[in-house]
Structure formats: structure tokens, C-alpha cells
Structure 1
Amino acid sequence: MTEVVTFEEIDCDNGNKIATVTLNSPRSLNALSGEMIDLLYPQLQLWQKQCDIVAIFLQGQGDKAFCGGGDIVNLYKAMKGSEQKQNPERYSDGVEEYFTKEYQLDYLIHTFTKPFIVWGNGIVMGGGLGLMVGGSHRVVTENSRIAMPEISIGLYPDVGGSYFLNKMPENCGLFLGLTGASINAADAKYCNLADYFVTHDNKQSFIKQLTQIDWEKSSEHNQNSISTLLANLENASSSKLPESKLSEHKALISQVTSFDNLNDIVNSILAVNCEDKWFNRAQGSLKHGSALSATIAYQQIQLGKSLALADCFRMELNLSVKSGQFGEFCEGVRALLIDKDNAPKWHFDSINSVDQKTINWFFESKWSNDNHPLFGRYRTLVHQSYVHEKAYEFINNLI
């Protein structure tokens, strides 16, 4: 049986090694399965401690996708299994287990102590973006197609979206979170999701040049050496960088997201009359997507502005588990990927119809302060009880 993740240690000229990781499920667009996570997490921990490993290189098998998202088909089966057991709360242990492990892996990449290079070629969506965004050197190519399309499946932009969507300029993060719009390499650089643009045919040359670096024990020195190498490759690739739609529409995006409530923002986005196909697709995704997902996304982004990364993941785990319990996520996956009728029966037909009781329930913590599954050994300045206190304060003053 073929391994869903392959690992290799490549010898460098000065006796050190580059560790390469390949997501190896191209038929599923290298979707991040639970089995992949179970292999990745301990191996990365091991390499972080291994003295002769100087950098990590993460890629997807094939030319079509780095990682097309999480393993939502198996999540759907877990949610349906919970239904069939006549669980009155429709709560699934499998959903909690998957998201807990996924967010632990994402957090490890964000906090990795050695250079962590991600080759984001092809499709990078959802869970794939969660893997990429935490890297120290995030590379996109002429083939990169990046999106957080969760509004179309009744979820919300997770995998740290509460944190990284707030790092984008001109309210781009809010726009992308609400519309699930697809972006290219230039867009990814513009909105701080990527660091370098290099054409895909330079990948093997780049890996070879990595082995020729004069590696030292200093992480800062090694980071700078990789940055210099990538900057040189980017200069040679610059003529193939596509035009950025986010940059082109930055004034419009800033204008339509400038309101202080979600209803006006959504109405403003949908009211724009333009002939740009990219913007029109974004409008379509918002119009036909889940109103509940949009409401959750808006509030998580507002809350994420004041939260540390670890606390964002804690908040998101609660939201994800409850998304698996509520039924909107299950229905969205059914319509898009299982029955493929593209006719989801959402719980709410508009932003205004999403009731406050439901939103309060989503942001009410499932766990007490001391038994949260995520990052038990990490204590940040923002305590979990504060997260949910701020959530209630925000929700109760909304709209």
C-alpha cells in the first residue's frame, strides 16, 4: 500500500540534511486526511530535535495540487454516523478528533524552530492553506489557486483564519472569508499568505541549491540564506507573475467592507455592478452560500483581532466541533460532494434571519478552562475564559 505521506532526508554538501515531506494522495488533490496528520505530526517533532536537519521542505505529489483541503468526505461520514446512532446532540467524536489533530499540526508549523519551506503549487484550499500559512518561507507558483471556500459547505474559514485573515490589508481578509474567492500567486503575496513567487519548473533546481548552502547552527543565518536564494529565483521568475485581482479591486473591497455590521457589508458586496468575472464569482459564492457561515466568519474575524494564535485555534476548535453538531456543515458537504446536487438546504435564508440564540451557542465554549483539548501545555496571555467573555460582549452588541 502506498504511503499517504512520504519522508526523505536529502544530504547537503556540508554534512547536514534537508527533510522533505510529500503529501501523497494526488487523486484526492492531496486532501489532508487523519492518517496524514498522524504521520506528519510525530515526524516533524522528531526532525525539530534532530541536530543535522536544517530545514523542512513540504510539497504535494503531482502538479495539480499542494493540498485541496481537509478530508471532509470522512468528516461527513462521521457526522452522519452520529445521526444514525440517534445521538440527541448529533455530536461526533470523530469530528473533534480530526480538528484537534489538524490544529495541533498547524500550530506546530507556525511555531517550528527551523526554516519551514512550503511549496504551494496548484490548488491550495482550506486545510491546505492551514499547512502553508504557518511556514517560514511560503512559495507560490504560476499555477497556485488559493481559497477558503468554507461558506459554500456550511463551515467557516478555520485553520487559523481568525488570525491570518486579520493580517491582510484593506479588509481583504474579511472579503475573502465571506466570499471564499479564489486568488492567485500575486494575490497571495499581496495579502500576506505567501512570501515568494517562483515558477514551478524551478522546484528541483531550488532543492538542489538548498543542499549547497553553507548551513550553520544559527537559525537566523539559515533563514536568511533561504530567503536570499528564493529572492534570486523570484527575480528570474517575475515576468510570469499574474496580475493581482485583490490589488486591482482594493479600493472597492475597502469600500464594501467598511460598514460596522454584517448585513450592510453583505448587501454592499452583492449590490456592486461590474463585469469582472472574478468579482462576480465572489458575489455568487456569497449569495448562494450559508448565511450562518457568513455570520460566524464575520464574528470570528472580529474576535480574532485581539487574540493570540493559540487562542484563535482554541476558539476555532469549539466552532468546528459545533459546526459538525449543528447540521449546516453536513448539509453543505452533502450538496457539494456527496449527492452533488448543488442545492443545499441552509437553515437560514438571509443574514437577518440568523437568530442570536444560535450564534451565542456557537461561541459558547464546549470545554472548561482546564480541559480544552488544544495546547494544554501552552499558556498564553489571553486566557480561554477571556476569549468567550469577549465573544459574548461582541455578539450582544452586534447589529
Structure 2
Amino acid sequence: MSDTVEFIELACSNNEHKIGVATLDNPSSLNALSFDMLVSLKDKLELWHNDESIICVVIQGSGEKAFCAGGDIRTMYNVMRDTDDEQTQEFCTTFFTVEYQCDYLIHTYSKPVIAWGEGIVMGGGMGLFMASSHRVVTPKSRLAMPEISIGLYPDVGGTYFLNRLNHNIGMFLGMTGIMVNASDAKELKMANHLLLSEDKPALVEQLQMVDWNTCIDSYEAVSDLLETMETNVADKMPEHQLLPFMDRIESACRPDGIENVVNRILTLEIKEPWFETAKSNLLSGSPITAHICYRQLTQLEGLSLADCFRTELNLSVRSSLLGEFQEGVRARLIDKDGSPNWRYSNVSEVDKKMIDQMFTPLWDKEEHPLSQLGQF
């Protein structure tokens, strides 16, 4: 059955420990996360967190095309289109609250979490992936935060993890939604291990063979195992795309005003197909998203992880009410005409007061749905 998360517990050789494996099973939608999948994953991860026999967790996607291509924005679109603001706010608050609680749980998990990032890793999938302690990519991996194309913004912890990438690359990724291949992901520290697709069964088998009883540090044991398996795979990975141009990208994305950043990106002379895609994404993307992303990466870099998610919940619910997100999903995924009617035609036209309003809290501090995040 698809649109579920499948869970298994694999016994280790010492008969005292087990490996928890969670498989996102929604292959027809590239393992996009429905609300029920998020609830199921969160509940099981909490149980495994408190189960002393579970020594580590593996999260993977069903099939080879995708780890996870994001959240279930089609359902969200139907709610935004067919209900009033109050119902939309209630649904989106509930959906994003559970998603961000799940992401935060993985970020703060007390056991190793291995994310097997095969294929597409985007949006909500990036939230799970970047939260994991051990992030594995293969030659087929493609990582992206493409929200600018649908009028949302880089959420699921993007405020936290994009701010922690070097070279202003977080700004570039958020502004352009460009896909990052495995080799660049490793160099940029978005991923920390390179393996081949066919290595996954051996990885799980060797995790079962570890003598966890004598293991002092389970995180180190998992890292050592992955590093051992990484030997001699570099020559089978794709060539770097972003890395040769990092100096120019870093200079273009220096934070001296959003109009300056956008203009410099669009005028960079990088004659590569991937960069033409990046420019096209920025030109055709939501100017409102660009403004939110710029503010995330210039004014919110010092927020704690919990406060990042609290800020994002506010932004996500407000985005669901604004209309830009709805229009972006319609144009890209529903009608597929590729011509969203954005509220503004470029970043220079965007009303800064409207962006201020997007960041204005919907709830008092004590009433925030994520008020308890990080308190225990």
C-alpha cells in the first residue's frame, strides 16, 4: 500500500539490539509526505527513541527515483482552493506543525539516523535529510529547495541549515532552487557520505553485524562503517557543477540588498546548462519568495533550531493564506501551464510592508503550536 511509511526492526547479531528502518512508501508521488505519513513517522521515531533495543535508525524512500520530493502540496492546494481562510489556516497549521515536529525530532535524536538520499531529495525531503546525523548520497542524488518556483519559501528547517552552509551558498540555493548533485552536496557538507546505490543492502547488513555491546560511541561506529564503505567511490560520482564557480557565486550572493543579489546572479557569466536553469528559476520564480529567502538568510541566522521552526510555522501558514503559494502550485503542478500569475513581477516591486506582515506572529508566544519545542 502506498501513501504510508513502512517500518521494520532488524535484529543485530548480538540479539540485544535492532536497527529501525523507516521506508517512505509513496512512489507514485516520488514519496511525497502526506499528513498521515508524517504522523506515522513521528510516532514511530518517538517510540524508537525511547526503545533501548533500537541502536540506530535508517530512513529511506521506496524505489530508486526519490528519497522524498517534498510535502503533499496537492492536498494543500485543494484545501487552499476549496475552503475559507479559517479552514485553510487550521489545516495548514496542523500539517506544518506535525512536519516541523518530526524534523526537529530527527535533528535532536539521541541515536544515529542514517538518511539514504537516493534520487530526488527536495523540500520536505530535505527537511528529513538535513536533520539526520548521517546523510548519504549516491550518484543519482539530486538535492534542492525549489520553493521559489511554487511561491512558498525554503522551510522545513531551511532557516537553520541554509544559514550554516559556507560561501553564501544557502542564499544561492534558496533564490534559484537549483539541484545539487552528489559530489557538490558532499563538498558543501549538505551530505557527509558518498556511496553507490548497490551498497545499501551491505550497509544494513553490516550495521546488524556491529558489536554494539562493546561500542562506546554509536555515532562514531556508524561514521566509521560508512567511511570504510566510501573507499574508491569518488571516481563513480558526477563531476562537480557548483564547486568550480564558488568564488563567483559567493561574491554575487553577498548580502547587500536583495535587488543587488538578484541582479548579480542574473548577470553572472557562467556558461553551463545548470546555471541557465538556475537563472530561469529565479526569473520565473516568486518575487515574494525571494524576499522571504533573503530575510531568512540575512536577519535570522542567529536563531536557535526551535525558534527557526517557530518562525517557519508562522511563515508557512501566512503563505497558505496569501495566495502566492496556491497560485504557484496551480501553475506548476495542477494546470501545469508554467505561467504563475505572481502578485509582483520582480523583486523591486514587492511591498516591503507586506513582507514585514509575513513575519508578524500569528500567535502569542505561549499559544504558538510549537511553543514546547526545545523545552524538554
- TM-score between both structures, scaled by the size of structure 1: 0.91
Counterpart of 2:264 in structure 1: which amino acid?
Answer: S
Pair 226,265 (structure 1): closer, same or farther in 2 beyond 3 Å: same
Identical-pair percentage:
45
Pair 48,367 (structure 1): closer, same or farther in 2 beyond 3 Å: same
SS in structure 2 of the partner of residue 166 of structure 1: helix
- Partners of 1:171 and 1:149 lie apart in 2 by 17
Counterpart of 1:146 in structure 2: which amino acid?
Answer: L
**In the TM superposition, what is the alpha-carbon distance from 1:300 to its structure 2 partner?**
1.3
Pair 330,236 (structure 1): closer, same or farther in 2 beyond 3 Å: same
1:376 corresponding residue in structure 2: 372
1:247-396 residue pairs with structure 2 within 5 A? 247-376=243-372, 378-379=374-375
Counterpart of 2:55 in structure 1: which amino acid?
Answer: V
- Partners of 1:227 and 1:172 lie apart in 2 by 25
1:133 corresponding residue in structure 2: 130
Pair 3,344 (structure 1): closer, same or farther in 2 beyond 3 Å: closer
**In the TM superposition, what is the alpha-carbon distance from 1:272 to its structure 2 partner?**
1.8
Counterpart of 1:7 in structure 2: which amino acid?
Answer: F
2:99 corresponding residue in structure 1: 102
1:215 corresponding residue in structure 2: 212
SS in structure 2 of the partner of residue 133 of structure 1: helix
Counterpart of 2:349 in structure 1: which amino acid?
Answer: S
2:44 corresponding residue in structure 1: 43
1:395 corresponding residue in structure 2: none
- Partners of 1:78 and 1:5 lie apart in 2 by 23
Pair 369,92 (structure 1): closer, same or farther in 2 beyond 3 Å: closer
The answer on whether the counterparts of 1:58 and 1:119 sit within 8 Å (CA) in structure 2 is yes
Q: Deviations over 1:27-63 (max 9, x none)?
A: 1100011010111111110111111110001100001
SS in structure 2 of the partner of residue 41 of structure 1: helix
Q: Deviations over 1:331-359 (max 9, x none)?
A: 00000000010010000011111102211
**In the TM superposition, what is the alpha-carbon distance from 1:3 to its structure 2 partner?**
6.3
1:55-204 residue pairs with structure 2 within 5 A? 55-82=56-83, 85=84, 87=85, 91-204=88-201
**In the TM superposition, what is the alpha-carbon distance from 1:81 to its structure 2 partner?**
2.1
The answer on whether the counterparts of 1:104 and 1:375 sit within 8 Å (CA) in structure 2 is no
Instruction: List alignment gaps of at least 5 residues for structure 2.
Output: none
The answer on whether the counterparts of 2:3 and 2:34 sit within 8 Å (CA) in structure 1 is no
SS in structure 2 of the partner of residue 245 of structure 1: coil
Pair 21,91 (structure 1): closer, same or farther in 2 beyond 3 Å: closer
SS in structure 1 of the partner of residue 13 of structure 2: coil
The answer on whether the counterparts of 1:31 and 1:71 sit within 8 Å (CA) in structure 2 is yes
Counterpart of 1:62 in structure 2: which amino acid?
Answer: G
The answer on whether the counterparts of 1:162 and 1:312 sit within 8 Å (CA) in structure 2 is yes
The answer on whether the counterparts of 2:365 and 2:371 sit within 8 Å (CA) in structure 1 is no
**In the TM superposition, what is the alpha-carbon distance from 1:90 to its structure 2 partner?**
7.9
The answer on whether the counterparts of 2:115 and 2:129 sit within 8 Å (CA) in structure 1 is yes
1:228 corresponding residue in structure 2: 224
The answer on whether the counterparts of 1:78 and 1:92 sit within 8 Å (CA) in structure 2 is no
The answer on whether the counterparts of 1:172 and 1:246 sit within 8 Å (CA) in structure 2 is no
Pair 352,137 (structure 1): closer, same or farther in 2 beyond 3 Å: same
2:4 corresponding residue in structure 1: 4
Pair 137,377 (structure 1): closer, same or farther in 2 beyond 3 Å: closer
Pair 342,93 (structure 1): closer, same or farther in 2 beyond 3 Å: same
Pair 356,217 (structure 1): closer, same or farther in 2 beyond 3 Å: farther
Pair 217,310 (structure 1): closer, same or farther in 2 beyond 3 Å: farther
SS in structure 1 of the partner of residue 67 of structure 2: strand
Query: Which residue among 203, 208, 218 is the counterpart of 1:206?
Result: 203
- Partners of 2:375 and 2:108 lie apart in 1 by 14
**In the TM superposition, what is the alpha-carbon distance from 1:217 to its structure 2 partner?**
7.8
- Partners of 1:98 and 1:240 lie apart in 2 by 39
Task: Please give the root-mean-square deviation of Cα atoms over the aligned residues, in Å.
Answer: 1.5
The answer on whether the counterparts of 2:12 and 2:209 sit within 8 Å (CA) in structure 1 is yes
**In the TM superposition, what is the alpha-carbon distance from 1:259 to its structure 2 partner?**
4.6
- Partners of 2:8 and 2:63 lie apart in 1 by 17
Instruction: List alignment gaps of at least 5 residues for structure 1.
Output: 381-399
- Partners of 1:306 and 1:225 lie apart in 2 by 31
Aligned length: 375
Counterpart of 1:65 in structure 2: which amino acid?
Answer: A
Runs of 4+, deviation exceeding 3 Å: none
- TM-score between both structures, scaled by the size of structure 2: 0.97
1:385 corresponding residue in structure 2: none
- Partners of 1:125 and 1:377 lie apart in 2 by 24
